[in-house]
Amino acid sequence: MLKLDPIWQPDIQQANFRLLLDAMAYPGRCFTLHTVPKEGHITLSVLATLLDAEVTFSDPYSLLRTDDWPMLQAKSTSADKADYVLCDASQLPKFSPKLGTLPDPERSATLILMVNNLGQGEQTLKLSGPGIKDTESLSIDGLNAEWLAKRNDWVCSFPLGVDMILVDEQHVAALPRTTKVEVE
């Protein structure tokens, strides 16, 4: 009876989850999202795939509509305690995400950063580390450089750190904590 946007359908979410796994396995590589939301924020495709009632979520830049929250089902909390944080990459970081603990490094935050464009832009990152043969280049438009400076601090005590997922209107790319990032 109810017609759901495809981003809420299990088959699309499973396909997008596979895509996010690939993005994490190949840092800096751009992948095209299978479906984008018909209405609402573009990152909803990624959020609908990752969030459920078992995780905590924060939207410190107020990018989502009030109506999106019950659909995502995640519990709301502050950005420094959340499992997932939605960020406007064009603005300055204004919180310190959780970095996990040595016994449980996986209890850290995953940051979903909304950028203007992935694959092209004035900023080019040179990436190296696990999942990258030699080096990988990633051009981005709309990423405040302060995010990269903060990221260097957050990931310097491996295995503690944060994982980043960059999203534009159609693409997604990941920067796991193991990736070394240099600005070209």
Partner 1 sequence: MIQRTAWVSALKALPTNNLLSLTTKLSEDWTLRPKSVSQSGLGMMKLKDSAFNETFYLGEFPLAFAWLEVTTPDGHKAEGAAQVMDDRVEVAEALALCDAVLSAQLPGWEQVYNMVEQGVAINEKANRERKMILARTRVDFSLLDNVGDENAEA
CB of 1 to partner 1, least distance (A): 5
Q: How far apart are CA 30 and CA 16, in angstroms?
A: 13
Q: How far apart are CA 74 and CA 81, in angstroms?
A: 13
Residue 11 and residue 48 in contact, taking contact as beta carbons nearer than 8 Å: no
Site string for partner 1, 40-69 (x = CB under 8 A): ---------------------------x--
For partner 1 (CB under 8 A), the number of binding residues is 9
Among 38, 70, 103, 134, binds partner 1 (CB under 8 A): 70
Say whether residue 1 binds partner 1 (CB under 8 A): yes
Looking at the Cβ atoms of 48 and 111, the one nearer to partner 1 is 48
Count, in order, helices (H) and strands (E) of the chain: 4, 10
Looking at the Cβ atoms of 1 and 102, the one nearer to partner 1 is 1
> Edge-to-edge strands of the sheet including 136-141?
136-141, 117-128, 180-183
Alpha carbons within 13 A on the beta-carbon side of 90: 10
Looking at the Cβ atoms of 5 and 22, the one nearer to partner 1 is 5
Cα dihedral sign for 51, 144, 92, 158?
positive
Site string for partner 1, 72-111 (x = CB under 8 A): -x--------------------------------------
Residue 108 and residue 81 in contact, taking contact as beta carbons nearer than 8 Å: no
Say whether residue 2 binds partner 1 (CB under 8 A): yes
Pairing of strands 84-88, 75-76: unpaired
Looking at the Cβ atoms of 4 and 102, the one nearer to partner 1 is 4
Among 24, 47, 71, 140, binds partner 1 (CB under 8 A): 71
Binding site for partner 1 (CB under 8 A): 1-4, 8, 67, 70-71, 73
